[in-house]
Structure 1
Amino acid sequence: MSRYAEAHANPSGPGDARPTGLQIVKDNGLEGKLVGKVAVITGVSSGIGAETARALDATGITLFLTARDTTKAKTALAEFWKEDRMHLIHMDQTSLESVRNGAKEILAKASEVNILIANAGVMAVPDLQLTKDGFETQFATNHLSHFLLFELLKSAMLKASSAEFQSRVVVVSASAHRVSGIAPTDDYNYEKSAYDAWGAYSRSKTANIYMANEIERRFGSQGIHGLSLHPGNVYSGIGRFIPDEVMAAAVKPIMHVLKNTEQGAATTVVAAVGKEWEGRGGVYLADCAESERGEDDGSILGPRYSSVTYNKNDEGRLWEESLKMVGL
C-alpha cells in the first residue's frame, strides 16, 4: 500500500493532508541529492509545471524548463530561479519546428538528460483547429510534440542512464483518458468523424499513456523507463478554453477532491524521482501510487483506470504512426 493512501482516503479540498511535490522530495531524502543530473520539464509558465520545477529545484538538479510564453514563465519561476542551473527554453508545443529548435538548444548545453517530464498541455479546444503542421491541436500539443521531443532527447537519455539512476520519461495524462481510446489510423485529425472537444482531449490523454507504456516496452531494458499519471483534479490554467461560469459549476460538486497546484505536482514528482520507481515503468499512476482498476462507467473523473488505459496493440500502432507524423 502507498505511504500516501491514508492521506488520499478522505480528501477535504485544496491544501488538505495530501502531499505536495516538495513533500515527495523530502520524504525520499532527495534534498540536494541530485546535483549534476538533468531534468527537462515542458509547460512551466503556470500551474503544475511550475510547481514541479519548484519541487525538483530542492534536489539540486539542473533544470531545462520550456514554455511558449517565456515572459509569463519568468514570472512564475522568479521566486526560486537559480541562474547557475536553470535554463528557460522557448518551445511552442503546437509547432514541430519549435520542438526541434528547443531540443537543439537543450542538447547544446547538456549532453545527458536523466528525466523528461512531458507536462505541457491544452484542454477542450472548442472547435476543430489544426496546427501549421496539419494536426488537430490537442493531439499535436499533448502528444505529438512530446513524442518528438523524446525522440530528439533519446540518445542523451540513454547516455545518462546508470545502474544507480536509470533515466525516466514522465508523461502527465489525465483521468479524462478513461472514456476514449486513440483515434483510428485515418482519423487523428477528425478526417472521418465529427469533432468533439472533450473527445479530442480524451484521445490525446490516452495517447500520453500509450507513449509511456511503449517507451517502457521498447527502451526499459536499455535504461529508459516510461511512466504516465493523472495529477488529480486541479483548477489551473489548462482550462482556459472553458468559460469561468461553466468551470465553476463543474468543480462545485467535486470541491472536496480538488487539489492545489502544489499537491497536483506530487504524483509527477513521485514518477520522476520516487525511489520506488527506480528501474520500473509501463504503469499509470494516480494519487502518488499505481492506479487500480476501476469501472468502465464513462466518467472522466476518478483515479482508477479503465479498459482503455492499457492496450499493447494500439500502443505499438500509435508509436509507428507517430514516427511518420513527425517525419522520423
Structure 2
Amino acid sequence: MTTNKPITTSFTHHSTAMDVIKGVDLVRRRAIVTGGSSGIGVETARALASAGAEVTLAVRNPDAGQKAADDITGTTGNDRVLVAPLDLADQGSIADFVANWDGPLHILVNNAGIMAAPLSRTPQGWEMQFATNHLGHFALANGLRPALAAGDGARIVSVSSAAHLRSPVVFEDIQYDNREYEPWQAYGQSKTANVLFAVEATRRWSDDGIYTNSLMPGAIQTNLQRYVSKEELDRMRSGNAAAWKTVEQGAATSVLVAASPLLDEVGGRYFEDCQEAAPAQPGQRTGVADYALDPEAAERLWQVSTALLKS
C-alpha cells in the first residue's frame, strides 16, 4: 500500500549500486536506461542486468553503447543487454525509438543529460539543456506510457540533481528568449523540471500502476562535466572532497528508485544518498526545494511541455 511516511533505508552515501540490488529479482522484467553507455548510466544498467533484467541501453552513440553492453554481459553473465539509438534532443529520434519498442516495459531510467552547456538551441528554438534533460525524457515517457502501463507496477526513474536548488522553472521565459543565459541556472531549471515531472507523472499515471520518483545521484566525475573547466571542477572538488562518489556509488540511488521493494506504489518523491530527502534548508546544498514538489507547478509544466511538443 502507498505510504505517506518518508522512505528510509539501511543504505548510505557510500553504498554502491550492487549493494542496493543485492537480493532483488528482476528476471522477466525489462528496463531502459538512457545514457547507458557511460558514467552512472552504465553502472545502473549493470546492476539491473545483474538482477536478471533485460536492459536496453538507449544511447546517442551505438558503438559506445555496444562496448558498454558487452562489458555488462561480461561482468554479469546476462546476455540480454541490448542497444538502441536515441538522441533526446531530436524528437524524430525519440519517435523512432518508441515506434520500435515492442511489449511491456517495467523500468524506465531517465538518466541521460547535459550539464552547464553553452547556449545552444534545438531546431524548434528550445534551450538545449531544457530540451534534452526534460522535454526529451518527457516525450519518451509519454510515448512509452502504453508499454509502462502493460508492465504491471512499472517505475520511471527521473535523475535530477542538487542543482535543482539553483533555479525553479521560470515559466515566463523557459527558453531564455528574453533573459541573460547562465549555464548553471539553465541546468538547475532543467533539473527542477525532472522533479516536477515525477510529481505530475505519478498523479496522472498511478492508476495505471506507473510510479515515478526523482533523485540526486551525488557528485561524481563523469562525462557530464565535459563543459565544466578544470579550474571550476577543481574548485568544486576542493569545496567538499568527502561528498564526491565513485560511479558505482553514484548509481546506487537510481537503482534504489528503480528496483527496491521499499518503493512499491511510491511516487512523486525525491531521493538522495538512498533516502527520501528532507526539505532543503537555506544555504545548504542538500534536500529538495519546495518549488520542485509543488503540484501546481508540476501540472503547469506538464501542460507547457505538452504544448511545446505539439507546436
Moved more, 60-69 or 140-149: 60-69
Q: How many residues align?
A: 302
Corresponding residue to 2:131 among 119, 123, 140: 140
Determine the C-alpha separation between the residues in 1 that align with 2:254 and 2:234: 25
**Structure 1 counterpart SS, 2:171:** coil
Structure 1 residue aligned with 2:86: 91
User: Residue 199 in 1 paired to residue 199 in 2?
Assistant: no
Cα distance, 1:83 vs structure 2: 7.7
Cα distance, 1:204 vs structure 2: 0.1
Corresponding residue to 1:2 among 3, 8, 30: 8
Structure 2 residue aligned with 1:24: 20
Cα distance, 1:78 vs structure 2: 2.6
Determine the C-alpha separation between the residues in 2 that align with 1:84 and 1:278: 27
TM-score, normalized by length of structure 1?
0.88
Structure 2 residue aligned with 1:228: 214
Identity %: 33
1:39–1:115 contact (8 Å) kept in structure 2: yes
1:4–1:19 contact (8 Å) kept in structure 2: no
Partner deviation per Cα, 1:53-97 (whole Å, 9 max, x = no partner): 011011111111111112222233332237842220111111111
Cα distance, 1:131 vs structure 2: 1.1
TM-score, normalized by length of structure 2?
0.93
User: Residue 316 in 1 paired to residue 299 in 2?
Assistant: yes
**Structure 2 counterpart SS, 1:160:** coil
The amino acid of 2:259's aligned partner reads V
The amino acid of 1:321's aligned partner reads V
Determine the C-alpha separation between the residues in 1 that align with 2:141 and 2:29: 17
1:95–1:133 contact (8 Å) kept in structure 2: no
Determine the C-alpha separation between the residues in 1 that align with 2:62 and 2:95: 17
Structure 2 residue aligned with 1:80: 72
Cα distance, 1:219 vs structure 2: 1.1
Determine the C-alpha separation between the residues in 1 that align with 2:282 and 2:212: 25
User: Residue 184 in 1 paired to residue 171 in 2?
Assistant: yes
1:103–1:149 contact (8 Å) kept in structure 2: yes
1:178–1:308 contact (8 Å) kept in structure 2: no
Gaps of 5+ in 1: 9-17
Gaps of 5+ in 2: 1-6
Structure 2 residue aligned with 1:288: 274
The amino acid of 1:132's aligned partner reads P
